[in-house]
Amino acid sequence: MTTSDGNTPQVTDEHIERLKENMEKVEALSKRLVDVMAGKTPHTPALDGPNQELFAKAATAYFAEAWQNPAKILEHQIEYWGKSVLNFAEAQQAMAKGEIETDESAPKDRRFANPMWDTNPYFNFIRQQYQTNAKAISQAVASVEDIDDKDRRRLTYFSQQIIDMMAPTNFLATNPDALEKAVETEGQSLIKGLENLVADLEANDGELVVRLADETAFEVGGNIATTPGDVVYRNRMMELIQYKPATETVHETPIVLFPPWINKYYILDLKAQNSLIKWVTEQGYTLFVVSWVNADTSHADIGMEDYIQDGFLTAIEEAKKICKVKQVNAVGYCIAGTTLSLTLSLLKQRGDKSVKSATFFTTLTDFGEQGEFTPFLQDDFVNGIEDQVNKDGVLKAWIIGRTMSFLRSNDLIYSPAIRSYMLGETPPAFDLLYWNGDGANLPGRMAMQYLRGLCQGNDFVTDGFELMGHTLHIRDVDVPLMAITCETDHIAAWKDCYRGVQQMGSRSKTFVVSESGHIAGIVNPPSKKKYGHYTNPDLKGDADTWLNEADFHEGSWWPMWEAWLKKRSGKQVPARDTGDSDHPRLAPAPGDYVTVKASR
């Protein structure tokens, strides 16, 4: 490929011929693509979109509004028509003049960062018309009346998904970055992109799950999850890892940390610089962490009661035995925090004081507001999930991962897909994204108990959640507690977490809002000096009042939590080595369960 002025690429006949040769390679890849799609295992269609009743309701309401108030609808239509004609006229004018007048005041969209969106009449017209269409769809949805709030939120969400999906950047013919790269590389970028696409489909049984990270760059136990420790107990539900001490003495009361079983525990031990696990041992604590089993069909009948009995209660009991103490400090993250709350209610009703204090990371207990999960927690989707788990025995990791990704589709689906499939780039070597893709299957029975009884029924804060012969209720959670939430968390919104903490029966409650989101707000080491946090001891008012009156603190909440924990962790004792005569070291950390990949 030559250039005429040292900068501008000049496409030659020879270049075109090499481009054609590369395009012929597409045939072989296309055959692989057809083969993998032909062998795809079908899944319940309800997992792919809402019941058509939602759109029927919206259409009926829209046309009813048109009959009742035609002027309003016509105003929207005329505005759309006028803008579309203006876009076309401006494009014609630009082609005639050979230049475009750009609007510097227009809001910036990073999807349209390529200068050609502003300087090329073709791409400029496409961008403007897409933005006009997007506004028209949003306006139409906003104008729909006579539908309830949940349906409105779902309609807004799914219409935005359509808008995002139809962005011109998602299609080769209207993506200047991809077209420029294809010409520059003589079509090799498209060959590599198609190879990436086929590889992702083959790796996921025909389901399109965009790989976010270079999986060859990481090894669990090699360059991530490397804090020294040993598996000291194992059963069908979990491995219990005890971490080696990093100080000569430790606090008498150990910590037992329960991570979510939707993902692997090593989010808290990615690398030494941001490992909460390593940091806790360096503060002088005996730390136990549960590594959950990655469910397969043999776990289909495992329920919440099994996680409590063979997970929470067993881990607490074994930690007590190893440390020869009567109490532990417990920590629960996300769904494990929710289940820790259930466990504390059970212990309260049994008169068991094994837990001295509880810390909750981004934990929902009151599901009265479903937030961004509203589109997925209605009966059409949940019924679809139930149908699928009845077939598979488990709620497969790709279903969970896809749902989470669609909450941030531009960042977690479309942008990575463009880079991988159109530009032919290798996914980045990013440990957080590697962990994000290393999902876990959920036992079918547990998944439905959680979705039906907690998420949909909100039983824990209303009539009580029936489990293990008890009616578990949030008011029974009465140990001293600290709740860490995250300001921009889209999975466990901090205001919803706050509402749950308000209803807990504890006399001693500390509530914290960290800056950032579900992961970065928790994995926030003091050394980074990155995200601050808010505190306010008065939990009587609503969430907005709490935040308005809260004090802001620079830096991580970890030291503040450790100071709180220290008061509840007893005297200093000689550092404990891992295990004992009744708890032999079964395997070095990170153990065996964490390396099991989710079945497809």
How many whole angstroms separate alpha carbon 179 and alpha carbon 185? 10
How many whole angstroms separate alpha carbon 218 and alpha carbon 267? 13
How many whole angstroms separate alpha carbon 460 and alpha carbon 479? 17
- Burial label for 348, CB within 10 Å (0-12, 13-18, 19+), is buried
Q: How many CA atoms lie within 13 A of 547 on its CB side?
A: 13
* Helix (H) / strand (E) containing 40: none
What are the DSSP calls for 529-554, one per residue? ----EEE-S--SS-HHHHHHTPEEES
> Tokens 């409105």 appear where?
152
How many whole angstroms separate alpha carbon 155 and alpha carbon 144? 10
How many whole angstroms separate alpha carbon 202 and alpha carbon 36? 6
Strands 287-292 and 238-243: antiparallel
> Tokens 């259930």 appear where?
342
Under 8 Å CB-to-CB from 458, ≥6 apart: which residues? 366, 367, 368
Q: Is 254 helix (H, G, I), strand (E, B) or coil?
A: coil
How many whole angstroms separate alpha carbon 414 and alpha carbon 126? 18
Question: Which one of 334, 455, 486, 497 is the catalytic residue?
Answer: 334
How many whole angstroms separate alpha carbon 240 and alpha carbon 322? 12
Strand (E) positions, 194-306?
A: 229-234, 238-243, 249-251, 255-258, 287-292
- H-only helix segments in 491-530: 494-503
How many whole angstroms separate alpha carbon 269 and alpha carbon 525? 11
Q: Is 481 helix (H, G, I), strand (E, B) or coil?
A: strand
How many whole angstroms separate alpha carbon 259 and alpha carbon 335? 8
Q: Is 221 helix (H, G, I), strand (E, B) or coil?
A: coil
> Tokens 């505005």 appear where?
79
Residue 486 is a catalytic residue: no
Tokens representing residue 83 in the block: 């803008």
Q: How many CA atoms lie within 13 A of 190 on its CB side?
A: 24
Torsional class of 146: left (φ above 0), alpha (ψ -120 to 50), beta (otherwise): left
Whether the Cβ atoms of residue 480 and residue 357 lie closer than 8 Å to each other: yes
From residue 523, give the alpha-carbon distance in Å to each of 77, 129, 143, 520.
Answer: 48, 41, 41, 5
Nearest alpha-carbon partner for 340 in 367, 304, 373, 302: 304
* Helix (H) / strand (E) containing 24: helix 13-24
Q: How many residues does the chain have?
A: 600
SS3 content of the chain, % helix, strand, coil (to 5): 50, 15, 35
Q: Which residues are catalytic?
A: 334
